[in-house]
Amino acid sequence: MESSRKNPIAQKTTAEPGELLTALGANQPRYNPALWTLPASILLGSIIVGAFSPWFLVISIGALVWLAAIHRSNTDQLRTYKENQRQFARSIQSTTSLTALLGSILDSADVPIVATDQHGSIIRVNRASQKVLGSGRMLLGEHFESLITQRAVQEIEELARTGESAHARLTLPVGGDMRVFDVVAEPIASTRGAVCTFTDITELTRSATLKADFAANASHELRTPIASILGAIQTLEGPARNDERMSQRLITMISSNATRLDLLVKDLLDLSKLESTLIPTVLTEIDLHEMFERTSAPFATVCERRSLTIETKIMMEEPIMVSDDSLLELILRNLIGNAAKFSHEGTTISIHAEPIVMGVDPDAPPPEGMDHTSGIRLSVRDRGIGIPLSHQTRIFERFYQVDEARDGSAARRGTGLGLAIVKHAARTLGGTIRVSSIHRQGTTMIVELPCCVPESSISG
C-alpha cells in the first residue's frame, strides 16, 4: 500500500503505451524556486550580518542545513523519477512485444477471428478475416453488423457482449464458391466485448451430404436387382414351376441381376479401397502396348458383336511408364468399358498415350519416389452418344448416370461407380481426369498422371 502511495504510476503498468507515457509525464519532478528562495535569503543575510555579529553565523549554518535537506529531497525525487522511467520503458517494451506477439498469433491462424468492443465495433481482426470476410479491405472501426448481415450471427455476437457464449451457422460466397462456417462467439470480460471465430466446415458438410446420398443410392442400386431376383424365384416356385420356356427366361433374369450385384459389390470394394488413405501403391515399369492389349481383351466379345474396332497409339520413344499396375489397369478397364458400351455400332475406339510435362497438384501428390515433373496423358475416345454439357460436371459422382444411359437397355446400364473409381485411382497416383464430349458425337476421357514416365521419353 505504501509503495502504491509513493508511486501511483506503477499501478498502470498494464495500460496502453500511450497511457503509460502520459502518466509518466504527469509525475515528472517540477523545479519549484520558492523552496530555495527563503533558506537562500536567510543564509545570505546571516552571512552578511555575521560579519558584525558572530551569533548570526549559527543562523547561517541552520539555513545551510535547510538548503542541503531541500537538495537531498530533490535528488531523491529525481532518482525515483528515473527509476520509474526505466520501469515504464520496460513496461512499454513488454506491452509492445506482447501486442506484436498477439497480432502474429492471430494472423497465423487460418480461421477468421473478429473481436468487437462493447458497442459492437470491430477492434481486432486477423489476416484471414480480412481475406475471407472483408475481401482484403481493412475492417477495424467497422460495425459488426455491416460486416455480417445474417441476423443469426449478429444475434450471437450481441449475446456474447452480454456475457453468454453462443454459436450459429453461416453461409458466405468466398472466391466464387459458397462456403459454410461454424461461428462461435465468446465474451471478453475485460472490455465487455466479444470475439467471434469462423471455422470453415464446408468440406465436412459436403462429406456428410455425400455419405447420406451414397447410402441412399447404394440401397436403391442393391434393392432393384435383389427385388428382381426374389420376384423371379417366387415365380419359379409358383406359376412357372412347370413352364420350361418361362423358367428359362426367369433363370436368365436371375443370372443377369446376380451378375449386376457382383459387379456392384466389386465396384464398391474398389471404391472403398481407393478412398482409404491406407491403400499402398506399388510402382513398377509398365509396357503400355501390353497394358492396352490386356485391358482391351475382356471387351473383345462386345466389340465383335457391335462391330467396334479398338485403335491404340503410343506417341513415345519407349512405350514404358512407371506406375501402379493394378490402378492403371483399373483406370483403363473402366474407360474402355464405357467406350465399348456407349459407342455407335461400327465405329472406332481410340486409345492414345503421349508424354507431357505437368505440375504436381498439392491436393493430390504423386506416390513417394516420383520426384520429377514428367508425366503421361492417356485418352480414350469413342464415337458414341456423348454426354450433354449439363451432365458433364456430375459424371464423376458416385452412382450418377446420364439419363439416357439410365433409361436405356440393361446392356448399357452400369453400376454408376466406374468414373468415380477412375477419378479416385487417378488422384491416388497424383493425377487428374477430365472429359471432353459433344452430345451425340462422342466422348474423350483424358487422364493425366504426373511423374509416371521416364524423363528420357519427354521430347522437345
Number of domains in the chain: 4
Considering only CA atoms, which of 176, 150, 125, 183 is closest in space to residue 134? 125
Q: Which residues contact 197 (CB under 8 A, 6 or more apart)?
A: 111, 112, 113, 183, 184, 186
Together in a domain, 374 and 425? yes
- What's the confidence (pLDDT) of residue 55? 67
Q: What is the pLDDT of residue 189?
A: 84
306 in the same domain as 439:
yes
- 132 and 61 together in one domain: no
Q: What domain range is 7 assigned to?
A: 2-105
What pLDDT, on a 0 to 100 scale, did the predictor assign at position 344? 92
In the structure grid, which three cell numbers stand for residue 147, read together? 460486416
Same domain assignment for residues 287 and 167: no
Is there a single domain that holds both residue 180 and residue 296?
no
- How much is the pLDDT for 380? 96
The pTM of this model reads: 0.55
Instruction: Give pLDDT < 70 ranges for the chain.
Output: 1-36, 38-39, 42-43, 46-57, 210, 213-214, 276-279, 360-373, 402-415, 451-460
- The predicted pLDDT at position 11 comes to 41
Look at residue 22 in the predicted model and tell me its pLDDT: 55
pLDDT of 405 reads 42
**Number of residues that this document lists for the chain:** 460
Clarify whether residues 434 and 306 are in a common domain.
yes
Residues 376 and 250 in one domain: no
CB 130 within 8 A of CB 138: yes
* Pair 374, 448: CB distance under 8 Å: no
pLDDT digits (tens, 9 = 90+) for 165-192: 998 999 888 877 788 999 999 999 888 8
- Predicted pLDDT at 460: 41
Pair 93, 177 in one domain: no
Query: For the domain that residue 399 is a member of, what is the CATH number?
Result: 3.30.565.10
- CATH code (residue 235): 1.10.287.130
Query: Cα–Cα distance between 163 and 152 in angstroms, integer?
Result: 17
User: Pick from 105, 137, 164: which residue ends a domain?
Assistant: 105
Within this chain, do residues 114 and 252 fall inside the same structural domain, yes or no? no
Same domain? 306 vs 380: yes
Say whether both 185 and 70 belong to one domain: no
One domain for residues 389 and 414: yes
| Residue finishing a domain among 278, 294, 309 | 278
Q: What is the pLDDT of residue 370?
A: 61
* Residue that finishes a domain, picked among 278, 313, 340: 278
Q: For residue 142, give the CATH number of its domain.
A: 3.30.450.20
SS (H, E, C) 194-230: EEEEEEECHHHHHHHHHHHHHHHHHHHHHHHHHHHHH
